[in-house]
């Protein structure tokens, strides 16, 4: 009998950026990147984000944590969009987990490219 993968990804969320849906995940690497960028502990990151550029960096970092490829142009599109951090945070907290091992490209709710 095959052993179930107990290291499957958890906490992957899908958010809609308006121009594209992306998976996001808070990984250790994403946390470290955000802590370095904002020069604070992760629990304080949200209070250090002051600009749309900071919010775009935050979203892109979490998307990269989930394995998404976010180009500099897409990060700029995030920055120019009317996305509010409170909306993103609510979306992150309110979106259900992607089932472990499921490829979202094959999922009807998958990120569009």
Q: What is the pLDDT of residue 103?
A: 44
DSSP sequence for 62-81? HHHHTT----HHHHHHHHHS
The predicted-structure confidence for 9-42, as pLDDT tens digits, reads as follows 567 888 888 888 999 988 999 999 999 999 999 8
Rounded Cα distance, 63 and 24, in Å: 4
Q: Are 29 and 105 in contact (CB under 8 A)?
A: no
């Amino acid at each position: 009998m095959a052993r179930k993968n107990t290291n499957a990804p958890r906490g992957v969320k899908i958010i809609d950026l308006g121009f594209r849906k992306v998976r996001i995940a808070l990984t250790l690497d994403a946390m470290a990147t955000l802590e370095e960028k904002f020069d604070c502990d992760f629990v304080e990151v949200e209070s250090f984000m002051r600009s749309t550029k900071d919010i775009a960096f935050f979203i892109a970092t979490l998307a990269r944590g989930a394995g998404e490829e976010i180009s500099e142009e897409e990060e700029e599109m995030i920055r120019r969009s009317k996305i509010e951090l409170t909306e993103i945070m609510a979306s992150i907290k309110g979106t259900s987990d992607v089932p472990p091992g499921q490829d979202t490209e094959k999922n009807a709710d998958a990120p569009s490219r």
